[in-house]
Amino acid sequence: MRTPVTILGAGAWGTAVATLLAHNGATVKMWCYEDEVAHDITTNHRNKKYLPDIKLSPSITATTNLPEALLNAEWIFEAIPVPYIRSILGKIDPQISPTVLTAPWVILSKGLEHNTLKLPASIVEDVLRTPIHYVVVSGPNFAGELASQVMTASVLAGNNQKIVLRLANLLATSYFKPIASDDPVGAMVGGALKNVMALILGIAHEAPFSHKNTTAYLFAQGLNEIAIITQHYGGKRDTIYGLAGLGDMVLSCTSTTSRNMQFGVLLGRGLTLEQATQQFHSEPEGVATLRSLQKFVTRTDLDIPLCRAAYHCIFEGRPFAQALTDLWSL
């Protein structure tokens, strides 16, 4: 029997995970915001807007109708950009779609909600008004490479280890290695904040100070600040020194394939935030996360100067050279 799976969100990462599930025999129903994307996935077996180079399995279909997407789902994968999770899930009526209360959730989103500073799993629970069984998928994963069946590993971190192991069995292939963890908070914080660090390292890549020594310092300082914030949220520092922290940072902060680093490079070349955004379908995740992180910074006395500097550079236009000088004087 094919396992029926729902994926909420049809961006590059949600689509890549759909290919993995279909490879393992699942029947995947994707919920899309855009009619043209849903039509493209179902009719043409492509997602030309977000993952154009990948041919999709016929067992992957899509709809813009939420109740239809959720019907009979045994697993619900949430892949919605964090700023929109609350508004989209708020449209679900559990009486019409009872699977949202019974099926385990798989959290693919990365970021912090701006007003509440909640992590994605907490947003879902807040909207549904009930605790859920969930697993966070986090690690060094470029969507295109996963969909192309490049050997990939990722952390599966959940609040119920039996469900973590069930999910590992659902996802494991010859090219995808799941690694079980009991620290979903650490996995979510690491996944969110590495995007912020990719922005600042992208700026550094193009700045007059784009030297290897400087980059290594920024990378190490960024990793340490992510660990500090993880502990503040109740996660484990050790998680950040593994695949969901260090591994994800290496991928996102050392390759211009990363959307967040690409965006930082544009800023480092002198483009404004608005000008850089025009070159993307939407702002990369790190920009929204950094907006939220600034609120976090003002509410705490944590020693996270690089996070502060990133906000000043990206939203207030402070020259990177000045931000670096400020860091050096601490």
Domain boundaries, the chain: 4-182, 185-328
pLDDT tens digits for 284-317?
999 999 999 998 988 888 999 999 999 999 999 8
Share above pLDDT 90 across residues of the chain, in percent, rounded to a whole number: 87
- The answer on pLDDT for 325 being more than 90 is no
- The answer on pLDDT for 64 being more than 90 is yes
DSSP letter (8 states) at residue 51 = B
Which among 300, 301, 319, 299 has a CA at the least distance from the CA of 309? 319
- Would you please indicate which residues are annotated as catalytic (active-site) residues? 194
Exposure string of 301-321, with b = 16+ CB inside 10 Å and e = fewer, is eeebbbbbbbbbbbeeeeebe
pLDDT on residue 99 = 97
- The answer on pLDDT for 207 being more than 80 is no
Helices (H), the chain: 12-23, 35-39, 66-70, 82-89, 99-102, 120-128, 143-147, 161-171, 184-206, 212-233, 237-240, 248-253, 259-268, 273-278, 285-299, 305-316, 320-328
pLDDT tens digits for 127-146?
999 999 999 999 999 999 99
Helix 184-206 and helix 259-268, axial crossing angle in degrees, nearest 10: 30
Q: How many CA atoms lie within 13 A of 178 on its CB side?
A: 21
Collect all residues with Cβ–Cβ distance below 8 Å to 88 and sequence separation of at least 6.
8, 33, 66, 80
| Cα–chain center distance at 255 | 17
Give the pLDDT band (50/70/90) at residue 250: very high
- The answer on pLDDT for 209 being more than 70 is no
The one-letter amino acid at 330: L
Q: Compute the distance between CA of residue 122 and CA of residue 128 in angstroms, rounded to an integer.
A: 10
CATH superfamily of 4-182: NAD(P)-binding Rossmann-like Domain (3.40.50.720)
- The answer on pLDDT for 249 being more than 80 is yes
According to the CATH classification, is domain 185-328 in 1.10.1040.10? yes
The one-letter amino acid at 296: F
